[in-house]
C-alpha cells in the first residue's frame, strides 16, 4: 500500500476577463500569487498586528485581483441581486455549516461550567485515582471536560483544582497542569464542536461523525504520548504553585458566585451527579457517530432516516443543550431567565472565531475561483509527497509563523481542498487529512501564541521553562497525532 497523492488535474486555470489587475499568466504566475499572498498574510498578522479576520479578507481580495478575478466576480454587482460573489459564497458556505455547531457547543459548555460540572468531574476522578495518580486524573479531566469547552475557558475553570492538587502533594505543579493541558489541547485540536476541526470539515465536506471517529483514534495515542512526556519532565523541573494566582482564582470564584447570586444563576449546594455530566457530554458524540455508521451499515429505511435525523450535528447538539438546560438548570432551581443569561453571555467571545473561520472560507473560495488552488494542486502533485504530509507541513509552517491555530487550519484547508478534488478519496481518508491539518496547527506553541502566555501566567512558569515544557508538549501531541493519521491513511 502507499500514501494517496494529490489528485492530478488540468494544469491551466480557466481564463478570467475584466480583471482589475491581470498581472500573472500561467501556472508560474499563479504560484507567485500564492506565495505573495501567504507572505502578505504572515506580514500583516505578525508585523502589522492586523486582526486575523481583516488580514485574511485583505489577502483574499489581493490574491483574487492579482490572479485575474474581476471586481464583479469578487464582489458581485448591484445590478444583479441574484449574482453571488466569490466572497459571499466563501463566507456563507462555511459559516452556514460552522456557526450553528460552534454556537450550540459554546452554550453547552457554558452551562456545564457554571453548574459546577467541571469541579464535580475533577473531584470524582481525583477521589477515584487517589493522590498517587492525581496527574492522570487531571489529564482525564482535561480530556473529558475539554470536549464541550474552549481551551482558555478550561484553563480558567480547572486551574484552581490544579493548584489544590499540587499544594497537597508538594510536588511540581507541572506534574498536574501539563496532563490537564494536553487533554484540553487534544480535544480543542481534534474534536468537534471546537472551531478548528468543524471549520476544516466544512471546507473539505466531511461528515462530523468521521471527524469525531478519526479525532478519537488519532487523539488518544497522541495525548498518551503527551502524558508520558509530562510525567517525565514534571519530575525534572520544579515549579512551585503560584500563590498570587491562587489568590486571584479565589477572588475570581467569589466574584463569579456573587454575580450568580445576583442574577439567580447560582447552582444548588448539591453537587451535580457525575453520570449526568458524562451523559450530557457524550450524547451528541454518540448520536453523530450512530448516524455516520448507519449510513454505512444500513440500507435506506425509515429507521436509518430516524437515526440520521437525530444524529445530524444540529439536532444532536440541540438535544444535548436542552438536556443540560433541564438536568443542570431547571431541575436544580435555575430560572429560565438565568439560563438565557448564561447562554447569551457565552456567545460573546465567539464572534471573532466565526469571522476568522468565515474569512478562511473566503480565502479558499478565492483560491479556487482564481485558479491559484489548481496551480498549487498541480505543483504539489508533481512534488510527489502524499497529500496528508503536505497538509501537515503547510499547517505546521503557518502555525509556527503566525501563532493562531484557527488561522493555520482554515488557511491550510483552503490550500489543500483542490488537492483532494477528483481523487475519489473516502470520507475516512479526508477526515485523516483534517487530523493532519489539526495536528500541524498545534505544533510548537511559542511566544507568538496567546496560549503560551496563558499557560505561563496561570501556572507561574517562567518563559524559559514554558518553552521547555508546554512548547515541547504541544510538539509531542502534534507529531504523535500526525504519525497515527499518516499510518492509518495507508489503509483507509
- pTM of the model as a whole: 0.84
pLDDT per position as a tens digit, 186-196: 999 999 999 99
Question: CA 101, CA 443: separation in Å to the nearest integer?
Answer: 25
Preceding peptide of 193 cis, ω within 30°: yes
Tell whether the model's pLDDT for residue 402 goes beyond 70.
Answer: yes
Q: Which CA distances in Å does 84 have to 70, 91, 207? A: 13, 11, 26
Mean pLDDT for the stretch of residues 442-466: 91
Beta bridge pairs of residue 80? 77
If one counts the domains in the chain, the total is: 1
Tell whether the model's pLDDT for residue 261 goes beyond 70.
Answer: no
Q: Answer whether residue 199 is part of any domain.
A: no
Question: CA 196, CA 232: separation in Å to the nearest integer?
Answer: 29
Mean pLDDT for the stretch of residues 232-239: 95
Q: Write down the pLDDT at residue 415.
A: 87
Q: Which residues contact 329 (CB under 8 A, 6 or more apart)?
A: 111, 115, 338, 339
Q: Write down the pLDDT at residue 265.
A: 53
Q: Answer whether residue 412 is part of any domain.
A: no
| Average pLDDT score, the chain | 85
Q: Write down the pLDDT at residue 13.
A: 42
Nine cell digits for residue 369: 475561483
Q: Answer whether residue 359 is part of any domain.
A: no
Tell whether the model's pLDDT for residue 290 goes beyond 90.
Answer: yes
Q: Write down the pLDDT at residue 8.
A: 44
Q: Write down the pLDDT at residue 423.
A: 67
Mean pLDDT for the stretch of residues 95-122: 86
Q: Answer whether residue 320 is part of any domain.
A: yes
pLDDT per position as a tens digit, 323-376: 999 998 888 888 888 888 888 888 887 888 889 888 888 888 888 888 887 787
Nearest to 163 by CA among 234, 245, 229: 245
Q: Answer whether residue 380 is part of any domain.
A: no
Q: Write down the pLDDT at residue 263.
A: 60
Q: Answer whether residue 343 is part of any domain.
A: yes
Asked whether the beta carbons of 428 and 214 are under 8 A apart, the reply is yes
Structure confidence at residue 319 as a pLDDT band (50, 70, 90): very high
Mean pLDDT for the stretch of residues 414-432: 87
Q: Which residues contact 411 (CB under 8 A, 6 or more apart)?
A: 38, 41, 56, 360, 363, 398
Question: CA 162, CA 218: separation in Å to the nearest integer?
Answer: 26
According to DSSP, residue 206 is labeled -
Q: Answer whether residue 403 is part of any domain.
A: no
448 versus 247: the higher-pLDDT residue is 448
The boundaries of the domain holding residue 176 are 93-180+242-347
Q: Answer whether residue 44 is part of any domain.
A: no
Q: Which CA distances in Å does 422 have to 106, 328, 364, 374, 418? A: 35, 47, 17, 11, 8
Question: CA 98, CA 117: separation in Å to the nearest integer?
Answer: 26
Amino acid at each position: 500500500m502507499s500514501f494517496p497523492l494529490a489528485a492530478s488535474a488540468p494544469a491551466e486555470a480557466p481564463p478570467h476577463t475584466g480583471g482589475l489587475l491581470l498581472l500573472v499568466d500561467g501556472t508560474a504566475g499563479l504560484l507567485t500569487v500564492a506565495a505573495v499572498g501567504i507572505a502578505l498574510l504572515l506580514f500583516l498578522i505578525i508585523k502589522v498586528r492586523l486582526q486575523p479576520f481583516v488580514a485574511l479578507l485583505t489577502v483574499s481580495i489581493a490574491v483574487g485581483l492579482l490572479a485575474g478575478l474581476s471586481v464583479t466576480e469578487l464582489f458581485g454587482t448591484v445590478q444583479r441581486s441574484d449574482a453571488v460573489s466569490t466572497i459571499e459564497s466563501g463566507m456563507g458556505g462555511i459559516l452556514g455549516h460552522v456557526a450553528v455547531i460552534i454556537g450550540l457547543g459554546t452554550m453547552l459548555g457554558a452551562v456545564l461550567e457554571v453548574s459546577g460540572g467541571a469541579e464535580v468531574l475533577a473531584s470524582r476522578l481525583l477521589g477515584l485515582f487517589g493522590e498517587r495518580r492525581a496527574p492522570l486524573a487531571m489529564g482525564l479531566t482535561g480530556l473529558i471536560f475539554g470536549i464541550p469547552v474552549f481551551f482558555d475557558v478550561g484553563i480558567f475553570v480547572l486551574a484552581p483544582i490544579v493548584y489544590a492538587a499540587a499544594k497537597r502533594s508538594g510536588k511540581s505543579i507541572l506534574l498536574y497542569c501539563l496532563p490537564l493541558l494536553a487533554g484540553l489541547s487534544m480535544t480543542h485540536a481534534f474534536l468537534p464542536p471546537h472551531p478548528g476541526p468543524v471549520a476544516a470539515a466544512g471546507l473539505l465536506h466531511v461528515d462530523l461523525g468521521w471527524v469525531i471517529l478519526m479525532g478519537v483514534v488519532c487523539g488518544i495515542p497522541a495525548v498518551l504520548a503527551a502524558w508520558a512526556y509530562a510525567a517525565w519532565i514534571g519530575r525534572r523541573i520544579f515549579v512551585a504553585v503560584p500563590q498570587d494566582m491562587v489568590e486571584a482564582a479565589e477572588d475570581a470564584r467569589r466574584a463569579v458566585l456573587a454575580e450568580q447570586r445576583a442574577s439567580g444563576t447560582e447552582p444548588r449546594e448539591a453537587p451535580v451527579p457525575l453520570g449526568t455530566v458524562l451523559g450530557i457530554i457524550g450524547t451528541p458524540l454518540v448520536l453523530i457517530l450512530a448516524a455516520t455508521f448507519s449510513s454505512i451499515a444500513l440500507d435506506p429505511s425509515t429507521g436509518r432516516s430516524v437515526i440520521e435525523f437525530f444524529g445530524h450535528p444540529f439536532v444532536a447538539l440541540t438535544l444535548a443543550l436542552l438536556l443540560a438546560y433541564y438536568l443542570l438548570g431547571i431541575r436544580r432551581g435555575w430560572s429560565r431567565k438565568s439560563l438565557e443569561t448564561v447562554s447569551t453571555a457565552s456567545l460573546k467571545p465567539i464572534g471573532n472565531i466565526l469571522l476568522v473561520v468565515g474569512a478562511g472560507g473566503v480565502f479558499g473560495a478565492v483560491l479556487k475561483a482564481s485558479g491559484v488552488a489548481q496551480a498549487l494542486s498541480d505543483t504539489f502533485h508533481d512534488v510527489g509527497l502524499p497529500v496528508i504530509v503536505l497538509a501537515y507541513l503547510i499547517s505546521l509552517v503557518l502555525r509556527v509563523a503566525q501563532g493562531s491555530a484557527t488561522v493555520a487550519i482554515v488557511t491550510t484547508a483552503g490550500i489543500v481542498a483542490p488537492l483532494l478534488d477528483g481523487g475519489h478519496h473516502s470520507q475516512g481518508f479526508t477526515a485523516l487529512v483534517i487530523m493532519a491539518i489539526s495536528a500541524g496547527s498545534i505544533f510548537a506553541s511559542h511566544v507568538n501564541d496567546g496560549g503560551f502566555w496563558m499557560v505561563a501566567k496561570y501556572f507561574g512558569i517562567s518563559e524559559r521553562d514554558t518553552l521547555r515544557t508546554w512548547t515541547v508538549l504541544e510538539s509531542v501531541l502534534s507529531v504523535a497525532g500526525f504519525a497515527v493519521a499518516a499510518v492509518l491513511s495507508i489503509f483507509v
